[in-house]
Structure 1
Amino acid sequence: MRGFFLGLLLMPALLAGTAAAQKFDALSDGAKKAILDDYLAQADAPYPDLCKGEIKRMRRIADRMGTREFDGRIRELEKSLPQSDESLYIKMRLLKREMMLSGIGFDKILCVDTPYPEGAEGVHEGRIKTENTASFGGKICIVDIPSFSTDKTLFPSEPDSAAIGRAELSFDAKEIVFSARQKGSSNYSLYRMAIDGGAPKRLTNGAYNDSDPAWLPDGGFVFTTSRSNHFLRCGGNEFRLQVLARCDGDGKNIYFISTNNESDSMPCVLDDGRILYCRWEYVDKNIFRLQSLWTINPDGTNSQVFWGNQSHWPDVPTCAMQIPETDMYLFQSSSHHNAYRSGLGILRPSEGMNYPDGIYNLTPHLGWAEAGVGPKDTPYNADFGMSKNFSAFYTPRPVGRHLYLVSGRMRGVHAIKTSAYSPEDRLGLEGSLANRARNVPEDYSSLYLADYDGNLELIYKGERNIHFAQPLRPRLVPRKIENVTIWPGDKAEDNAVAPEGVLYSANVYENSLIEPGSAKYIRVIEHCAPTYADGKKDSTREWLDVMKALGVDPDLPFISADPSLCKYFLSGETTMSVLLDESHKRILGEAPIESDGSVHIKVPSMRAIYFQLLDKDRKVIQTMRSSTHVMGGEMRGCLGCHATQNASAPPRKPAAALRKPPAKLENRFGDRTFGFARTIQPILDKHCVRCHNSAAGHKISLESKKLIDASDFSVAYLNLVLGGLERGKKQNPHSGYAGAIFPYHAYPNPNVEICTEESVIPPMTVLSGRSRLVSMLEKGHQDAKPSTREMDLLKAWIDLNCPFRGEEDILEEPDIDEKLYYSNERLYKGLSFAPKMRTAPDVDRSFRQDKFDSQDSRMPHAPDGAPMPSIRYEGDKRITAIK
């Protein structure tokens, strides 16, 4: 630890380095023209205004540099005011350039020169690293700043032979690790190579994509990978999503360190050894906005929200990195449907963990990308002077206390769109050409040296986009966090179980609105990743047809605070719910809560879990709308329900639960996943349908028949969840009988300053604790008298947010015919494998993944080589096979 803090003290000296100054007059004519053209393109006001602003900014640069070296030249230029013209503006820009580039401490930069991804929705945040959006023509270069030119190309040796993702320099600046898909290879893999030359060494292989690598202090790598074999719930199976994993320096011993069911991106190792990354997830929330920053240790322990897990703004905060010598973090705010439509921002989590606290917009003229302009945005700098002609930025990287490198592009003649999500965004049209990412010269981004005052100096212009730029110099090795995870190795046999972890809370009531003493049980739910997809991509059409049959205009009665989104909406492929694009869930069990509010429980490792607090009748008081996990052997605590503080005061006396061994979860439902037809309809048939049927003329039919042939949704399911919709009748979140969460509704919360769809839902607002159906049956409804077991099943189904299908239903569906699948060339051409339903693989993220290099390798096979089911159910018991 002492060495770590000594390293922090020495950091400024380590980063200072030496650098040759760039002399404008010595540059080539082409370089001079590029720089001067860029100055004119940045000009976004009359020259008198521009020149006045440049004088002020140059003086601020001199102040922060602590030098008076440039004062005389600044005064000489100022004498020309108020008369100003293009010539004076250029002179001022050239002097400012000299000031910006003086003493930066490096003269060479590692970067990636790359085209944009291609293909259907190729610039979507979940598609840019997929094998069939790969755009060949990328290269990894070393740029020489003094000459404004390429020093050398490291990779590939043959032009236009590789699609390249992220490249990252080692701490000693002697090697790089990068992701690439070479021609002749099916997918993105990890490589490492020496800076001074030599052939790259391929670290990973197979039909999965490995991307976004970063060096770990122990010599290994953190990266993102699609080895989880799961697909995007709100898109199609062409979205091969990637989550965090780690491996040794030779690419061996691959283990997942994330249980996310959507995607992780852009991991960065902080000085204290934690990994900071962007995570997209939605547990009973809307599909669009919940991208937030998280931290995790390199061994997968201590997964924590860093900032924004209940925030609508910004859109996708990613590529976040520490600003040296500060408690601030620079990030890019990308667009969900176009990762290259990005602004910039700064976070200071010590000031708050959700919008509008602790966040500052560095590019206010761009809003927050697809999320639009927020209701309470704060610019970082009141004197900020960035040109409003910049339309997008990408991969910012701090290079000191005051400077950063960033890729930027101009808007040209096009207006910049700052409004929120619209149908144009969904189609990838982005509303304006300034926001689009196309492989044409005018849309490519160049490399800038920037500061937090809005000054940007062009330092390199490549053949295409210049991304992932970083100084070619050594940097501080972060603190090495010791491993505490029990790594179980390969999964040796069917149904093998990895070591458990332990979770505890000293007080589940802390930081909540829950009445102390009211919660009697904690329920643990697994939110399972969809390793299946039907390949039909029809959920949107199914949803629209159902709305039409119900006589409901989907554009009117369900509008939320954001007028472009509905209170429920489907856009995915495998339809699991009418409320949102969903995967199956499983109740892992329950445990009692002590009288002081403490809990201490064992939970399975590497499962995406969330919690519910139940009252004495096992009705939900509060539900968590995010997931977490524990590693094997990990023991971790948490704050009260839905805490958003960075720290919590220690309990005044030892918690009762912690004076006992950790409790084992009581599993009352087995492994079942609560499909409606399998679990709920038999109860309705037994107690309700004799009255609630169409033949009897009852308005609320609870029959099992389909509403329309084009959809599997039953009349009973739709009536319970949506509440007997009628033409022209407006709906509110409590119209349904079941009590479901409407993920696109902003539930009012007195503890939240700006309520959005992502905010915490107050206790006793939704699910079984607020269910009209449960209340009606408890009070007595006609002669319907469900048993205690039946009521438990009803409440549990409601508390999983009313799923229509479960995993058991998926396993009864046939796999799509691969010939039919690949006939859809627009979406599926170039993908490494077709998705499965009946034979969907079981992916246990606890175990080592080295032997799994494809979907096929995860499935058992018949003697003739045909894939066999990996998962089957015997009653309520789930059984898996790996060979």
Structure 2
Amino acid sequence: MKVASFFRFVLSVFIVVNASARATSAPPTARAPAVKGFRAYAGRWQVVEGVLHAGAGAGPKLISQQSGFATGEVGVEVLLPDASEGNAGFIVKVSEAGIGADRFRGYEVSLNARRQMLRLARHRQNYEPIEDVPCRVPVGKWFPLVVRMTDSTLTVVVDGKTVQTYEDRDHPLRSGAVGFRPWQREAHFRNFWTKTDGRTAKIPFESGRPHLSPEKTLSTADLSPIAVVVRHALTAPPAVGQDLWASQPRAPGCAIRVIDPRQPDRPATTVFSDPDGCIYDMNVSYDARTLFFSFRDKDEQYWHIWRINTDGSGLKQLTDGPSYDVSPCQLPCGDIVFVSTRRFGFTLCQPGPASNLHRMGSDGGNVHCVSMNTLSDFTPQVLPDGRVLFTRWEYIDRDLTYRQSLWTQHPDGTAYQLFFGNTTRDVGTFWQARPLPGHSDRVVATFAPHHGFPHGAIGLIDRSRGPEGVKNESFTYITREFSTIGDQRHEWAYRDAFPLDDHTILCSYGDPRLRKYRIYLLDFAGNKRVLYEDPEMGCYFPLPLRPTPVPPVISTRVAAQTSPPKSTSDQRTGTFLLLDVYRGLEPTIQRGQVKSLRVMEQVRKTEELRSRAYDQSPVMGYGTYYAKRSWGTVPIEKDGSAHFRAPALREIYFQALDAEGQELQRMTSGVQIMPNEQVGCVGCHESRHSSPPATGHTPLAALRPPSELREPAWGNDGIVDFP
């Protein structure tokens, strides 16, 4: 492929991948706005009998879809129920809004009941305080708030009294929309109106979402039959995701049953049973005719994947051998993606094998690895847009514990990207994530700790608000028993969520008083009802037996590699095109400072060290768990671009170096590239929502063939060692 055409190819690939990460399918159950005629940017907004209730938060915004308001008046009645800290009120002349306290252009006109003051501020994607003006702010009663606007002035009237007139001579904001914004306190609004050209318009607050009572959301009238796993509980693993090799059944016996919630008195139908074996987990095909499950007999050490028809026919074992194979998920093409330890290597701080995503045919043939992680991947599911969503546990020179976030990739291992939660500290592990029907950016998941039982809360993640976020905005706890999870171990809690629609979820819940897991129907308000229980064993993995739309098949861009590289001599490569290393690094790192990029690898742990100190003695070093390999350096062009080959199917990351070869910045997450894959990057540490800039010229590095890595001078196969 010619270099110029390769640049166009990489650019188009980046745009397609980035767009798929942000876009949702055209769902039959599209998310309705919280308030008609308004757009919410985070926060909790609810309309009851014409009153807008705004929950406390870090500056969420509700903005009218009527834009271009330049001169005139706006008014609303406000109720601040108490004198708590924080403020709330109007934002006017709003444009360029986004999620984040200061992500907009406009003026803030807010009231603080505790301090009895009016706050005026300007926002230009930042916070520019204008002045705080003492004024009487009523508490516990309705009062009017009015803002009169000209091209450059704001006049604020609180409870009928003019408090302040401000003229913006330096940076006047000319026009925009009107909205509401609470800051760290709740507030209520009613009787909203605007006045332009002498005409007053009343704008009612109307809910954009129907109110559903628990009687409606928890009704079983429209539920399909449900397949469930019945077995005894497993023992505690050392960490979530490690139960596939560490946990053991507390007693023998298991079954797959089908229940009909519409007929609770009808006995469950047994599809599969074994008095001595155990089932680890289970999944369902798109046509709801086949169940895939991981099972082991009483004399077996390893879980293997099986399939069976929902009527009990067609039982077949798909995998075998000395590896743990779990979490099967059907791909749109009919193949199966699953988790396996069959790629060599061990986890770092636990004495068990590492696990990776693998792919196989529907008959169990053509098994090959499609991920590079040196720790653990687990619970893959397919999003409506065809990407594979899964949890990845990784450590790259960062803090410990809160490192189990959600990632996506194409079924062939290409287009690897963060989905959510790489810097979140409220939840130890986001796992068992499944998309809401028709949504590729909204998923429910188990919010679990890192250590101990893989149980916790059920929560909602909204990726449309960005790949990172704050509690109650980007991720929300649905279940009521837990306000946070952190790294707290819970033997009896929630797990196995399966969203039925935008309102209800199937799940398994272990009531600590009963010390047994049962199947529940849960709504998004946290209400729940029992659907099924076994008198002796626990019930897990509820799967609705109803057909679901098959996602699009994402074409394979690389040839399958049956065995990952075990040495550097048989290494295959992919190609990176970096458009501008400084995008995301400036202004901390000045343009011109970065001269080269070093490609580093975290080397897989090849020895089981169960008897050693902390399972890892001799410890690699104070700053890292890993042995490291330098694959060498590549040059950075004057415009910040780079074009180079890198080793495929290894856990690699990059370091930006100065003229003396000293590190300026490093990545703290892994990069995955498949053999012959071509990847385009906008910058380093830039927003993952960024698109390639319209510079008008082709990056210099794209005008030449890719650089080959310049091996380090010390040899030793690149291993960093200090003998």
* TM-score normalized by the length of structure 2: 0.67
1:604: Cα distance to partner? 1.7
Question: Structure 1 residue 112 and structure 2 residue 221: aligned?
Answer: no
Counterpart of 1:628 in 2: which secondary structure?
Answer: coil
* 1:174 paired to 2:289: yes
| C-alpha spacing 1:581/1:130, structure 2 compared with 1 (3 Å) | farther
Residue 593 of structure 1 aligns with an amino acid whose one-letter code is: I
Give 1:152 deviation, angstroms.
1.6
What is the match of residue 155 of structure 1?
A: 272
How far, CA to CA, are the matches of 2:528 and 2:564 in structure 1?
52
- Deviation at residue 674 of structure 1 after TM alignment: 4.7
| Conserved 8 A contact 1:233-1:574 | no
**Given that residues 586 and 671 in structure 1 are in contact (C-alpha distance below 8 angstroms), is that contact kept between their aligned partners in structure 2?**
no
Gap change, CA 1:397 and 1:229, over 3 Å in 2: same
- How far did residue 65 of structure 1 move? 6.6
1:446 to 2:489 alignment: no
Instruction: For 2:509, give the aligned amino acid.
Output: G
Alpha-carbon separation, structure 2, partners of 1:316 and 1:514: 33
| CA separation of 1:578 and 1:66: change in aligned 2, threshold 3 A | closer
For 1:217 and 1:164, the matched residues in 2 are separated by: 25
Q: Is the 8 A contact 2:435 2:444 kept in 1?
A: yes
Q: Which amino acid aligns with 2:228?
A: C
Which residues of 2 match residues 589-668 of structure 1 at below 5 A?
A: 589-652=632-695, 653-668=697-712
The whole-number CA distance in structure 2 between the counterparts of 1:185 and 1:409 is 27
Task: Compute the displacement of 1:410 (Å).
Answer: 2.7
CA contact (8 A) 1:498 1:632 kept: no
Q: Please say which of residues 266-275 and 305-314 is displaced more in the overlay.
A: 305-314
- Choose the corresponding residue for 1:397, options 471, 493, 498: 498
Match of 1:465 among 530, 538, 553: 538
Quote the offset at 1:352 in angstroms: 2.4
Shift of 1:494: 8.5
Q: Among residues 407, 429, 448, which one is paired with 1:316 in the alignment?
A: 429
Deviations 1:73-99 (A, max 9, x none): xxxxxxxxxxxxxxxxxxxxxx95466
- Which residue, out of 626, 630, 635, partners 1:583? 626
Aligned length: 516
Displacement after TM superposition at 1:257 (Å): 1.0
For the residue of structure 2 that corresponds to 1:155, the secondary structure is: strand
Is the Cα–Cα contact under 8 Å of residues 325 and 401 in structure 1 kept in the other structure? no
Q: Which residue type is aligned with residue 644 of structure 2?
A: I
Output the amino acid matched with 1:517.
G
The answer to whether the Cα contact below 8 Å between 1:446 and 1:461 also exists between their aligned partners in 2 is yes
Q: Show CA shifts across 1:205-258 (max 9, x none).
A: 1111001110001111111001123222112x2x22311111111111111111
Contact 2:272 2:312 in 1 (8 A): no
Equivalent residue for 2:410, pick from 294, 297, 304: 297
Q: Do 2:575 and 2:644's aligned partners in 1 also have CA atoms closer than 8 Å? A: yes
Instruction: Give the whole-Å Cα distance in 2 for the aligned partners of 1:100 and 1:493.
Output: 52
| CA apart distance, 1:643 | 2.8
Distance 1:150 1:205, change over 3 A: farther
> Match of 1:469, SS?
strand
CA distance in 1, matches of 2:634, 2:567: 28
**Residues 154, 531 of structure 1: alpha-carbon distance in 2 compared, 3 angstrom cutoff:** farther
CA contact (8 A) 1:292 1:316 kept: yes
Per-residue CA distance 1:406-445 (angstroms, 9 max, x = gap): 1113343xxxxxxxxxxxxxxxxxxxxxxxxxxxxx2222
Aligned residue for 2:626, secondary structure, equals coil
Query: Residue 244 of structure 2 aligns to a residue in which SS?
Result: coil
Could you say if the C-alpha distance between residues 493 and 472 of structure 1 is closer, same or farther in structure 2, counting changes exceeding 3 Å? Answer: closer
After superposition, residues 219-618 of structure 1 pair within 5 angstroms as: 219-235=334-350, 237=351, 239-326=352-439, 327-356=441-470, 358-363=474-479, 365-371=481-487, 392-412=493-513, 442-462=514-534, 463-489=536-562, 497-512=570-585, 513-538=588-613, 571-579=614-622, 582-618=625-661
Structure 1 residues 392, 198: CA separation in 2 closer, same or farther (over 3 Å shift)?
A: same
Aligned pair partner of 2:316 in 196, 201, 204: 201
Amino acid at match of 1:322: P
Task: Answer with 209-218 or 221-230: which moved more.
Answer: 221-230
1:215 aligns with 2:330: yes
Number of the residue aligned with 1:712:
none
- SS of residue in 2 equivalent to 1:329: strand
Secondary structure of the 2:464 match is helix
Q: 1:587, 1:671 within 8 Å by CA — same for their partners in 2?
A: no
Shift of 1:461: 1.3
C-alpha displacement at 1:351, in angstroms?
1.5
% of aligned pairs identical?
28
Q: CA deviation at 1:672?
A: 3.5
Tell me how far apart the structure 2 counterparts of residues 346 and 132 of structure 1 sit (CA, whole Å). 27
Q: Which amino acid aligns with 1:533?
A: E
On the 8 A contact 1:521/1:591 being kept in 2, the answer is yes
Q: Given the superposition, is the C-alpha separation of residues 162 and 282 from structure 1 closer, same or farther in structure 2, using an over 3 Å criterion?
A: same
Which runs of 5 or more residues in structure 1 are unaligned?
14-61, 68-94, 374-388, 413-441, 539-570, 679-883
Q: Check conservation: 2:506, 2:520, Cα contact below 8 A.
A: yes
From 271, 280, 291, the equivalent of 1:165 is 280
Q: CA deviation at 1:492?
A: 11
Higher strand content, 1 or 2: 2
CA distance in 1, matches of 2:407, 2:540: 23
Q: Distance in 1 between matches of 2:348 and 2:496?
A: 27
State whether structure 2 residue 261 is matched by structure 1 residue 145. yes
State the distance in 2 between where 1:580 and 1:126 align: 24
CA distance in 2, matches of 1:596, 1:675: 31
Secondary structure of 1:526's partner? strand
2:214, 2:461 → 1: CA distance? 27
| Contact 1:601 1:663 (C-alpha < 8 Å) held by counterparts | yes
SS in structure 2 opposite 1:212? strand
Q: CA RMSD in A?
A: 3.0
The separation in 1 between residues aligned to 2:516 and 2:451, in whole angstroms, is 18
Rate the CA distance shift 1:677–1:600 in 2: closer, same or farther, 3 A. closer
CA separation of 1:195 and 1:485: change in aligned 2, threshold 3 A = same
Q: Distance in 1 between matches of 2:526 and 2:429?
A: 22
Specify whether residues 461 and 98 from structure 1 end up closer, same or farther in structure 2 by C-alpha distance, changes over 3 A only: farther
Are the equivalent residues in 2 in contact too, given 1:533–1:574 (CA < 8 A)? no
Q: Deviations over 1:54-112 (max 9, x none)?
A: xxxxxxxx996789xxxxxxxxxxxxxxxxxxxxxxxxxxx9546622553x3310111
Give deviations 1:484-507, integer Å, cap 9, x for gaps.
Answer: 012245689987625421011101
Contact kept, 8 Å, 1:299 with 1:484, in 2: the verdict is yes
Aligned CA distance change for structure 1 residues 368 and 263 (closer, same or farther; 3 Å): farther
- Distance in 1, matches of 2:381 and 2:663, equals 38
CA distance in 2, matches of 1:128, 1:676: 33
Cα 1:504/1:465, change in 2 over 3 Å: farther
- How far the C-alpha of 1:303 sits from its partner, in A, is 0.6
Residue pair 2:304, 2:325 contacting (<8 A) in 1 also: yes
Residue type of the alignment partner of 2:379:
M
Amino acid at match of 2:704: K
Cα separation, 1, equivalents of 2:596 and 2:347:
32
- Is the contact between residue 220 and residue 261 of structure 2 (CA under 8 Å) also seen in structure 1? no
The aligned amino acid for 2:392 is R
Tell me which residue corresponds to 2:218.
100
Are 2:276 and 1:186 equivalent residues in the alignment? Answer: no
In structure 1, how many angstroms separate the alpha carbons of the residues matched to 2:211 and 2:400? 48
Cα contact 2:27–2:437 (8 A) shared by 1: no
**Whole-Å separation in 2 of the counterparts to 1:612 and 1:323:** 38
Cα deviation code 1:575-606 (max 9, x no counterpart):
23242662311101100001111111111211
Match of 1:381 in 2: none
